[in-house]
Amino acid sequence: MNALKLYYFFDPLCGWCYASAPALTGLAEAFPDTLTLMPSGLFAEENSRDISPEWAAYAWRNDQRIEQITGQQFSTAYYNHVLHGDHLRFDSGPATRAMTLIRTIAPALEHAFLNAAQQARYIQGLDTANPQVLGLVAETIAAKKGIEIAAGQFSAQIVNDQQLAKTTKERITLTQQLMQRLNISGVPLLLVSINGQEFILHGADLYSGPNKLINSIQQIVSSQK
């Protein structure tokens, strides 16, 4: 098992990545020292956009399909306040920078932050492209682990810390380079690497809960013995 490495490719604002959240939570618990989160920049920076009425309608259709297939909930609060809020951006850059920042504070919190940010957006109806919202999410999850994070300072770093922006961009570039090498484009997906062999899991493996995903990984491990 020492040779096993897991790489989860995602974007914080990807609805299908939210659909894989239960499986990812189980994965983080089962393989805490083996899992690396790989942000793809799918909706970050130049790939971001204003949430227009047309885009909101398109996103909601996709969200409803995701909910029907996977059971992950998209709330009325999300529909009203995120998709139909005033002058909001669909930009995963701030959330990706927030994840990069929190991993420098406490690496074990990164997955918990992603999960909490997804809940904040899709259930509570909060705008997770807003650094202030991300600061509050970080402060809340850190406090549960006895770690002190000041929401205001965290939010300010997301906006103003140039080194953080540089590190985040390098992280996204590394992810994109690996995706190009593997000839893959969509997220979410999981790259399983063991003894130099690489296997890609996606679709039903990620949307059917943690047990199926962990079983699939264990089958790969067994096949390589």
* SS3 annotation, 164-203: HHHHHHHHHHHHHHHHHHHCCCCCCEEEEEECCEEEEECC
Q: What is the pLDDT of residue 128?
A: 98
pTM of the model: 0.95
The two tokens of residue 117 are 């940010």
Residue 72 has pLDDT above 50, yes or no: yes
User: Based on the structure, what is the number of domains in the chain?
Assistant: 1
Of 1 and 127, the structure prediction assigns the larger pLDDT to 127
The two tokens of residue 21 are 């959240």
Banded pLDDT at 157 (limits 50, 70, 90): very high
Which residue segment(s) compose the domain that 76 sits in? 4-223
Residue 223 has pLDDT above 60, yes or no: yes
Banded pLDDT at 2 (limits 50, 70, 90): low
Contact 201, 189 (CB under 8 A): yes
Residue 107 has pLDDT above 70, yes or no: yes
Banded pLDDT at 179 (limits 50, 70, 90): very high
Q: What is the pLDDT of residue 1?
A: 46
Order of strands, edge to edge, in the sheet holding 35-39? 35-39, 4-10, 189-194, 197-201
* Overall average pLDDT of the 59-73 stretch: 96
The residue among 47, 36, 41, 8 whose CA lies nearest residue 170 is 41
Residue 67 has pLDDT above 80, yes or no: yes
Q: How far is CA 184 from CA 25, 29, 181, 189, in A?
A: 23, 26, 8, 9
How does the average pLDDT of the chain come out, rounded?
Answer: 95
Residue 72 sits in a domain of what CATH number? 3.40.30.10
Contact 74, 63 (CB under 8 A): yes
